[in-house]
Structure 1
Amino acid sequence: MNLTPDTLITEIPGYTPQISRLMSMMNYARYTTLQSVEGLTTEQLDYRVDETSNSIGALLLHFAAVEYAYQLETFEHRELNEEEMRIWGAALELGDAAREQIKGYNLDFYLNHLSEIRNKTYEVFKTKSDEWLDEEYPFWYDKPANHYFMWFHVMEDEINHRGQIRWMRKRIPG
């Protein structure tokens, strides 16, 4: 996975033009996410601003869970099954379950999950065409959506929560 701070949204060898551009944006978003958590300890990753907030670690695992869910949605046109929900449900939904279950992990744990899931995305993207990005089917509230929107949402969700991470990091005691 190439996560250099490239500021060109351009073609990537081995991928179609539009998928390349989407990946360029995803790469930059991930690069800035990784910058925002660089050097954090397990205790810092577990820090919560208050009893109702999620930890930085939970938000990182949320990024992986969202991307995994969208892999299933867009590549297989299905939702997570019961076993997958046991693995990813707390991270996907956040809240009480995430506060209880997602703690005590070091930064490498989260980074490995993010990398593993992203590598799978890019592996499948190699097999997709630009026309695939335009394919529509009912999505949220039975509104039509295309794969381009769905992958934009994966990136947009990460950018949104990365803002929370930056805000929280500034409030970690010590």
Structure 2
Amino acid sequence: MLHMQNLLLITDIPGYSPQISRLISMMNYARFTTLEAVKDLTQAELDYLLDAKSNSIGALLLHFAAVEYAYQVSTFEQRELNEEELLIWGPALELGKVGQEQIKGHELEYYLHQLDEVRNRTLEFFKSVNDDWLDTEEDFWYEKKANYYFMWFHVFEDELNHRGQIRLIRNRLKVK
């Protein structure tokens, strides 16, 4: 649900409060750059591993969806992922060896569908809250407080960080 005509504007979006609109604007741009980085990749390219310690591009894409889903559950539903959700999202959250073993064999459309499904769910959740919600604080990493604004910033900050890995992997693909 990217608003391509306003991609470079961090601005109000109809149906959302001002700060949530700005957060969504930044998330949209981050996603646009991710989609550009994976455009036209084949299944073999999505599964390619640089070495025994690396993640595939496909696993990183699923990681983006998994992280966003986990933050939906945490911030909107006030709970941890349940056993069923961990079966679905656990390998993508964990990455590493389990991700290498379990996240492969999918075409690009599979990953794009997962990203879209999770993002559409996020956008629906964001319609249900206002800017004050972003100030909600909870215990977070390293026994520190964080507010929801930071947590949702982290969702797309993590994507941007790993998107750099995707570009590096893409530049070194050795798939025939």
Report the secondary structure of 2:4's partner residue: coil
TM-score of the aligned structures, taking structure 1 as reference length: 0.97
Task: Name the SS of the counterpart of 2:105 in structure 1.
Answer: coil
* CA deviation vs aligned residue, 1:107-138 (integer Å, no higher than 9, x gap): 00000000000000000100111000011111
Residue correspondences, number: 174
Q: Counterpart of 1:2 in structure 2: which amino acid?
A: L
Structure 2 match to 1:30: 31
Secondary structure of 1:52's aligned partner? coil
Q: Indicate if the aligned counterparts of 1:56 and 1:168 stay in contact, CA closer than 8 A.
A: yes
Distance 2:36 2:3 in 1: 11
Tell me, in whole angstroms, the C-alpha distance in 2 between the residues paired with 1:14 and 1:171. Answer: 42
Residues 3, 30 of structure 1: 8 Å contact kept: no
Aligned position for 2:173 = 172
The alignment status of 1:126 with 2:107, answered yes or no, reads: no
- 1:82-125 CA-partner distances (Å, limit 9, x unpaired): 11111110001101110000000000000000000000000010
Change in 2 beyond 3 A, CA 1:102/1:3: farther
CA shift at 1:142, angstroms? 2.7
Mapping of residues 9-28 of structure 1, within 5 Å: 9-28=10-29
Distance 1:41 1:127 in 2: 38
Structure 1: unaligned runs, 5 residues or longer: none
Task: Tell me the distance in 1 between the aligned counterparts of 2:161 and 2:36.
Answer: 15
| Partner Cα separation in structure 1 for residue 79 and residue 144 of structure 2 | 16
Runs of 4+ in 1 over 2 A off after TM superposition: none
Aligned to 1:107: 108
Equivalent residues of 1:3, 1:28 under 8 A apart: no
Q: Matched residues, percent identical?
A: 66
Question: What value does the CA root-mean-square deviation take over the aligned residues?
Answer: 1.0
Cα distance in structure 1, aligned partners of 2:84 and 2:47: 25
State the distance in 2 between where 1:83 and 1:12 align. Answer: 34
1:42-87 Cα deviation digits (max 9, x unpaired): 0000001001101000000000000000000100121111111111
| Secondary structure, aligned partner of 1:145 | strand
Which segment drifts farther, 78-87 or 151-160? 78-87
- State the partner residue of 1:2: 2
Task: Note the C-alpha offset of 1:3.
Answer: 4.7
Distance 1:3 1:170 in 2: 28
Q: Which moved more, 1:54-63 or 1:77-86?
A: 77-86
Output the CA distance in 2 between the equivalents of 1:31 and 1:58. 18
Please state how far the C-alpha of 1:16 moved relative to its aligned partner. Answer: 0.1
Is this contact kept in 2: 1:3–1:31, CA < 8 A? no
> Paired residue for 1:42?
43
Residue 76 of structure 1 aligns to a residue whose secondary structure is: coil
Q: SS state of the match for residue 13, structure 1?
A: coil
